[in-house]
Amino acid sequence: MSHDENFSDESNLLHLVVAIIALLAAPLLPMLMGWYNVLM
């Protein structure tokens, strides 16, 4: 049981990290694309 619980905790942590990265990256992507278009 403990192994399943640990796996669940790690999975939830991974999903949380991915969600935070997505929330931080989403606003930056249009800006990065804008700079790419300006430089090119």
Residue 18 CA to residue 10 CA, distance in Å, equals: 12
Query: pLDDT value at position 4?
Result: 59
Query: pLDDT value at position 6?
Result: 59
Residue 9 CA to residue 16 CA, distance in Å, equals: 10
Query: pLDDT value at position 28?
Result: 86
The pTM of the whole model exceeds 0.75 = no
The number of beta carbons lying within 10 Å of the beta carbon of residue 38 is 7
Query: pLDDT value at position 16?
Result: 92
Digitized pLDDT (tens) for each residue of the chain, 40 residues in all: 455 565 677 788 899 999 999 898 888 888 888 888 888 8
What string of H, E and C letters represents the secondary structure of the chain? CHHHHHHHHHHHHHHHHHHHHHHHHHHHHHHHHHHHHHHC
